Structure 1
């Protein structure tokens, strides 16, 4: 069967600061799950969200599943 071409897809957002400092001091990596419209935003999504490991608002970038 062919893969369905859903307009709205579920994506994961990951903190870019935790990703860079993962080996240094962080206990983990902050991740959020959200949905986006594939037609309106074909590029990777970047949102400013709160990271509980960094303790501040940081940029979270879309990652591959």
Structure 2
């Protein structure tokens, strides 16, 4: 019914350094986090510093499309 007008939406954050390197022997995958954001307060793409378990350090994780 009101599915398209929800204020809080679920977003996926993906490690930007793992995506740039691609998947190789050093990096076994791509780190992803699921979080929520307020559509009205944050209309731009979200970027947060989170821990990447494949890079073994804190990196910038950016919002991706589903």
Q: Normalization by structure 1: what TM-score?
A: 0.92
Structure 1 distance, partners of 2:39, 2:51, is 24
2:8 aligned partner: 8
How many Å apart are 1:50 and its aligned residue? Answer: 0.1
How many Å apart are 1:22 and its aligned residue? Answer: 1.4
Q: Which segment drifts farther, 1-10 or 34-43?
A: 1-10
- Which ranges of structure 1 fall in alignment gaps of 5 or more residues? none
After superposition, the CA RMSD in angstroms is 1.4
Q: Secondary structure at the match of 1:4?
A: helix
- Structure whose residues are more often helix by fraction: 2
Residue-pair matches, total: 65
Query: Following superposition of structure 1 onto structure 2, how do residues 1-65 of structure 1 map, counting pairs within 5 Å?
Result: 3-24=3-24, 25-65=26-66
Q: Normalization by structure 2: what TM-score?
A: 0.90
Deviant stretches of 4+, over 2 Å: 1-4
